[in-house]
Amino acid sequence: MAKDGIRAIEGTRDYFGVDGIRFEKAFGAAAEIFSRYGYEKITSPVFEATGLFARSIGEATDIVEKEMYTFTPGSDSITLRPEGTAGVIRALLQHSMHKQGGLVKLWYGGPMFRRERPQKGRQRQFHQVGIEAVGSGDPLLDAEVIRMGLAYYERLGIGGVRLRLNSIGCAKDECRPAYRKLLKDAIAPKLGEFCKTCQGRFEKNILRILDCKNESCKKLAADLPKSHEKLCGECDQHFTAVKEGLDAHGAQYDVDPTLVRGLDYYTRTVFEYTHSALGAQDAIGGGGRYDGLVEELGGPATQAVGFALGVERIMIAMEALGCCACETPLQVYGIGLGEDCHKAMAGMIARLRNAGISADMDYEGKSFKAQMRAANRRGALVALILGDNELEKGEITVKDMREGGGQETVPLNAGVEAVLQMLP
């Protein structure tokens, strides 16, 4: 029902009920798994100087060209972050974390903003959890990062995640630039046979021709040289070591020569997690190595690797797979009859909460029956009943709400104890 009035902005959503639980689970699992691998949480601002994103993501990418929310209050130009890495690396440099010795492992989570047309699994405000491991080029670190992503999905009960892997080489002349030239030479004579967008990509970003979804382009691309077969010696060794690092732990993956990620800063390893439950936007996470970014942002030459996982897409997979999203049931519901009992019950409930028990009561002046129904609907394990006949004697009735459960009447000051005994 589209009532007149203020609605959430197009491409944004409210998370409550089971969605709220799934949303929190996605973040909770991140905290649990990532910290187990030695990552520390960092929370950076959701907006940054526009130039930060332009420099890191790449001027010619769709994100920077047309998807950023940019504001110019006063003489500043600020942008709502379209991804997490740039801000984290900025923070790392600003606080000289890279100078404190050794590898820096950070994780983050929160909203990202891109002004795209919303569709399934794509919103204008969406959420990611991600990690950055800065200060090492060890291929075993790539493998660890990739496996950590798999561990994360597993923790949430998401089975059937597919891992796609590729290497796009490094910036050295004999590596990616040479491969680009190879591609150009191979494509140039047949350029007319490719789709219009690919013809545009030929000059702008030739690697993207590889993952065009147009069927005829796919066929043409199949005969093109593969990036992972044209790597320089060091990149080739690195890629082999990453694969060995995955094999050693039995992680399944598919080397996919068409995997080319859209952000300019990636080097060598790139990977994507996909899931069939999602629809057209089937990537539930992705990442790679970015050995040039720290330097690009004004730091020393530093190797790094990271990933970002899409919370909304994770939630779609959780829903499709029926991953448990049960609310923790209320432990106690208090039923008070009449004004005096209502007051006394408020005190009783307060004592229970102080004792660490989740408890709630009626505040709508409902009938006894209605309060019983409320206790049932809320899933309360125990109901407390306080009417005038109990109150006169200074007692309270404690009822086990389970099928066929009994009840007992105890002195008021023994109520908390009686509840504790009845709870499983």
Partner RNA sequence: GCGGGAGUAGCUCAGCUGGCUAGAGCGUCAGAUUGUGGCUCUGAAGGUCGGGGGUUCGAGCCCCCUCUCUCGCCCCA
Residues 112-151 interacting with RNA (rule: CB under 7 A) = 114, 116-123, 126, 128
Q: Is 206 within 8 Å of 227 (Cβ atoms)?
A: no
Cβ distance to RNA smaller for residue 70 or 407:
407
Contact residue for RNA among 86, 158, 305, 375 (CB under 7 A): 375
Q: CA-CA-CA-CA torsion for 290, 291, 295, 300, nearest 10 degrees?
A: 140
Find the binding residues for RNA in span 330-349 (CB under 7 A). 337
Contact residue for RNA among 98, 239, 399, 415 (CB under 7 A): 399
Contact residue for RNA among 98, 268, 397, 419 (CB under 7 A): 397
Q: Is 161 within 8 Å of 147 (Cβ atoms)?
A: no
Asked whether position 106 contacts RNA by CB under 7 A, the answer is no
- Point out which span in 167-175, 291-299, 348-356, 402-410 binds RNA (CB under 7 A): 402-410
- Point out which span in 45-53, 146-154, 226-234, 271-279 binds RNA (CB under 7 A): 271-279
Contact residue for RNA among 285, 292, 299, 334 (CB under 7 A): 285
Find the binding residues for RNA in span 212-231 (CB under 7 A). 212-214
Q: For residues 60 and 81, what is the distance between their CA atoms, to the nearest angstrom?
A: 17
| C-beta atoms surrounding 211 within 10 Å | 17
How far from the centroid of its chain's Cα atoms is residue 269's Cα?
21
How far from the centroid of its chain's Cα atoms is residue 319's Cα?
15
Cβ distance to RNA smaller for residue 43 or 389:
389
Asked whether position 419 contacts RNA by CB under 7 A, the answer is no
Find the binding residues for RNA in span 248-267 (CB under 7 A). 261-263
Find the binding residues for RNA in span 1-30 (CB under 7 A). 1-4, 7-11, 13
> In which element (H, E) is residue 177 found?
helix 176-187
**Least distance to RNA, CB of residue 75, Å:** 27
Find the binding residues for RNA in span 79-98 (CB under 7 A). 83
**Least distance to RNA, CB of residue 223, Å:** 20
| C-beta atoms surrounding 181 within 10 Å | 12
Cβ distance to RNA smaller for residue 286 or 334:
286
Q: For residues 294 and 405, what is the distance between their CA atoms, to the nearest angstrom?
A: 63
Cβ distance to RNA smaller for residue 309 or 359:
309
**Least distance to RNA, CB of residue 60, Å:** 10
Question: If DSSP codes are grouped into helix, strand and coil, which group holds residue 291?
Answer: coil
| C-beta atoms surrounding 30 within 10 Å | 25
Outline where 37-84 has alpha helix (H): 50-57, 62
Query: Which residue do the tokens 């496996």 mark?
Result: 147
Cβ distance to RNA smaller for residue 242 or 284:
284
Q: In what order do the strands lie in the sheet with 78-80?
A: 47-49, 78-80, 70-71
Strand 283-289 versus strand 254-255 pairing type: unpaired
Find the binding residues for RNA in span 179-198 (CB under 7 A). 197
Asked whether position 389 contacts RNA by CB under 7 A, the answer is yes
What string marks each residue from 33 to 72 as x (binds RNA by CB under 7 A) or -?
Answer: ----------------------------xxx---------
Q: For residues 407 and 3, what is the distance between their CA atoms, to the nearest angstrom?
A: 47
Find the binding residues for RNA in span 298-327 (CB under 7 A). 308-310, 312-313
Outline where 274-338 has alpha helix (H): 293-296, 311-320
Q: For residues 212 and 138, what is the distance between their CA atoms, to the nearest angstrom?
A: 31
Asked whether position 283 contacts RNA by CB under 7 A, the answer is yes
Asked whether position 393 contacts RNA by CB under 7 A, the answer is no
